[in-house]
């Protein structure tokens, strides 16, 4: 992944209507300069498909996913969708969202991230990353903005965590999530293992108060794009009026001096965060422990075994 860009495109968008989304994507993606280099390329869409069993809000909005797939198909790209959700599978959750059949009719493949390639991170930790994510020409990150009980808010950087396969996500929580662990730093470090990435943020109807599953809807009415997920999150924290020190992931990015972690360095080709800023988006005051207990890990392992 490249971190050179500190440009973040922000736009108001109040509707999940297809025409509205396609027009927004056209304007956003044009600012990144990649739209002329997509014909014949393999694109992997990486939405948040955490779970659709309790309604659509924990996942990237179904119509947002469909519109993104259609936009890249119209640009001449070959499109896949993949994720490694904590509950169910990418395929199951897409069907629960009601778009599995339509994606199939569009010729979009779905990957449950079964194949893994081990990558050595700069920290010395091994990360098993989905082969689909590593071999695509462009990874298109499709996060939904959500409050989060463990990281306060989850956006572009956190959504990349889903590129880890199988039991690695709960394993990282259990092994690196204690008070002396470095979970946030590892998650930020994971970004360097990923290919060229474009982030398109679903910020139209988001989740606040708590999350990532049981929060409340909030009409933020914003979409965003950028090729550096750290820069995207920095801009969104400003828009949401959340201080950087309240986001463990942004603190970890700043400690690594990753380009885009300083709001003063960002540029905005469309709207400014001040133009769209809100003051009543709520996040948890105190955070739950990141570390999963061994029992929780065993439950997660059993779920995945039954799913296979």
pLDDT digits (tens, 9 = 90+) for 286-307: 998 886 655 454 455 445 544 4
pLDDT at 181: 66
Q: What is the pLDDT averaged over residues 123-128?
A: 94
With cut-offs at 50, 70 and 90, classify the pLDDT of residue 308: very low
For residue 267, give the DSSP letter: B
Residue 81 and residue 110 in contact, taking contact as beta carbons nearer than 8 Å: yes
pLDDT at position 305, please?
Answer: 45
pLDDT digits (tens, 9 = 90+) for 172-229: 888 888 766 689 999 999 999 999 999 999 999 999 999 999 999 999 999 999 999 9
Cis peptide before 212 (omega within 30 of 0): yes
Nearest residue to 286 (alpha-carbon basis) of 148, 86, 117, 95: 148
Asked which of 15-19, 100-104, 167-171, 263-267 is least confident by mean pLDDT, the reply is: 167-171
The secondary structure element, H or E, covering residue 227 is: none
For position 197, what pLDDT does the model report?
96
Q: What is the pLDDT of residue 99?
A: 97
What is the rounded CA–CA span in Å between residue 117 and residue 219?
39
- Residues 6 or more apart whose Cβ sits within 8 Å of residue 71: 22, 25, 26, 29
Confirm whether pTM is higher than 0.85: yes
Best CATH choice for the domain 9-303 from the list 3.65.10.10, 3.40.50.11440, 1.10.645.10, 3.40.50.720: 3.40.50.11440
For residue 238, CA distances in Å to 7, 245, 281 come to 14, 12, 12
Residue-range domain boundaries for the chain: 9-303
């Amino acid at each position: 992944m490249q971190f050179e860009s500190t440009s973040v495109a922000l736009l108001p968008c109040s509707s999940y209507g297809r025409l509205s989304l396609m027009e927004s994507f056209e304007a956003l993606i044009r600012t990144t300069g990649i739209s002329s280099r997509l014909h014949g390329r393999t694109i992997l869409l990486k939405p948040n498909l955490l779970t659709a069993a309790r309604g659509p809000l924990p996942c990237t909005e179904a119509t947002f996913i469909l519109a993104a797939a259609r936009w890249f198909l119209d640009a001449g790209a070959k499109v896949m969708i993949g994720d490694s959700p904590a509950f169910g599978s990418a395929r199951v959750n897409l069907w629960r969202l009601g778009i599995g059949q339509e994606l199939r009719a569009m010729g979009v493949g779905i990957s449950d991230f079964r194949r893994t390639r081990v990558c050595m991170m700069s920290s010395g930790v091994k990360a098993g990353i989905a082969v689909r994510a590593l071999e695509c020409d462009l990874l298109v990150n499709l996060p939904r903005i959500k409050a989060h009980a463990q990281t306060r808010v989850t956006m572009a950087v956190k959504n990349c965590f889903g590129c880890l396969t199988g039991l690695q996500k709960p394993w990282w929580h259990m092994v690196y999530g204690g008070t002396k662990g470095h979970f946030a730093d590892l998650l930020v470090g994971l970004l360097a293992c990923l290919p060229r990435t474009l982030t398109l943020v679903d910020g139209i109807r988001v989740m606040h108060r708590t999350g990532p599953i049981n929060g409340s809807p909030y009409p933020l009415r914003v979409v965003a794009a950028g090729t550096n997920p750290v820069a995207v999150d920095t801009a969104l924290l400003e828009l949401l009026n959340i201080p950087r020190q309240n986001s463990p992931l942004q603190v970890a990015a700043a400690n690594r001096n990753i380009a885009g972690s300083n709001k003063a360095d960002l540029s905005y080709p469309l709207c400014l965060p001040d133009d769209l800023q809100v003051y009543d988006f709520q996040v948890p005051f105190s955070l739950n422990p990141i570390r999963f207990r061994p029992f929780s890990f065993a439950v997660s392992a059993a779920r995945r075994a039954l799913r296979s």
